[in-house]
Amino acid sequence: MITLQSLRYGVELECGGHSREPVARAVQSVVGGTLRYLGGAPYDPWYVTAPDGR
């Protein structure tokens, strides 16, 4: 049986007027887990991984 807790998914946030780092840090402060900066143009991505690996 597939449950919501067993799924892995990504979420893309649109945050006009804010840079990616403070938004990623805000998400991580609520979700917990780890924050990773992958860098690179053009997207300059940050990833938050929940404590359970999702």
Residue 26 within a domain: yes
Tell me the pLDDT band of 2, cut-offs 50, 70 and 90.
confident
pLDDT of residue 33: 94
pLDDT of residue 32: 93
Question: Could you count the other beta carbons within 10 Å of the beta carbon of residue 46?
Answer: 19
pTM over 0.85: no
Residue 30 within a domain: yes
The CA-CA-CA angle for residues 20, 10, 30, to 5°, reads 60
pLDDT of residue 8: 77
Taking phi over 0 as left and psi of -120 to 50 as alpha, with beta for the rest, 45 belongs to beta
Residue 48 within a domain: yes
DSSP of 1-46, one letter per residue? Answer: ---GGG---------TTS-HHHHHHHHHHHH-SEEEE---TTT--E
Residue 1 within a domain: no
pLDDT in tens, 18-36: 888 999 999 999 999 999 9
For range 38-46, the mean pLDDT: 85
Residue 2 within a domain: no
Look up the domain containing 37 and give its range: 19-54
Domain count, the chain: 1
